[in-house]
């Protein structure tokens, strides 16, 4: 029987025991019996409190388990996805993960942010114009900035992901 169902049944049983003890109190009993029934009711109330806490804790554990299962599935999918990319040099000292031509599946060649990649996340780099004479790329996910090739002398060149540049 699932733990949550067991806890629910135990709570219901304890509630019935509490009502039973109250029923005894409502009948004419001597003081000694009334005192023992009162002790019993206090014990039942303590048990109810403990069961409610256990039920709440169990709910939290189930929610965490569900989140971990989702994360596990995501990481498994990422394990397959990340193999579609190869580490390439964007510029001296700047490396990114680029979609392999053999793994395109109809997608255009694009680059992924190495920081997000290391975090098992897919952050695409988008061209954001020139910065200090370098091609400038920004991660769509973490907003990390990357400087690419130095092209100050050709400031009006559009970025071409495969390395081709207009004007040459």
Beta carbon of residue 12, minimum distance to Zn ion (angstroms, whole number): 51
Residues 84-123 touching Zn ion, rule: CB under 5 A, are: 113, 115-116, 123
Give the containing element (helix H, strand E) for 86. strand 85-91
Among 22, 142, 145, 163, interactor with Zn ion by CB under 5 A:
142
- The residues, any chain, with a CB within 8 Å of residue 132's CB and separated by 6 or more, are 147
| Rounded alpha-carbon distances, angstroms, from residue 83 to 27, 68, 79 | 76, 23, 7
Tell me if 125 contacts Zn ion by CB under 5 A: no
The interface region with Zn ion, picked from 15-23, 29-37, 138-146, 153-161 by CB under 5 A, is 138-146
Beta carbon of residue 141, minimum distance to Zn ion (angstroms, whole number): 5
Positions in the binding site for Zn ion (CB under 5 A) = 113, 115-116, 123, 139, 141-142, 144
């Amino acid at each position: 029987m699932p733990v949550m169902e067991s806890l629910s049944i135990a709570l219901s049983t304890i509630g019935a025991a509490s009502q039973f003890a109250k029923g005894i109190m409502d009948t004419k009993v001597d003081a000694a019996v009334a005192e023992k029934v009162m002790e019993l009711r206090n014990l039942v109330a303590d048990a109810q409190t403990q069961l409610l806490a256990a039920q709440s804790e169990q709910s939290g554990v189930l929610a965490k388990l569900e989140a971990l299962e989702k994360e596990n599935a995501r990481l498994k999918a990422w394990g397959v996805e990340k193999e579609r990319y190869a580490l390439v040099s964007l510029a001296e000292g700047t490396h990114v993960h680029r979609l392999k031509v053999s793994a395109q599946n109809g997608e255009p060649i694009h680059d992924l942010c190495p920081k997000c990649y290391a975090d098992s996340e897919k952050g695409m780099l988008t061209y954001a114009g020139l910065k200090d004479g370098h091609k400038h790329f920004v991660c769509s996910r973490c907003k990390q900035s990357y400087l690419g090739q130095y092209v100050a002398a050709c400031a009006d060149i559009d970025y071409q992901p495969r390395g081709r540049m207009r004007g040459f």
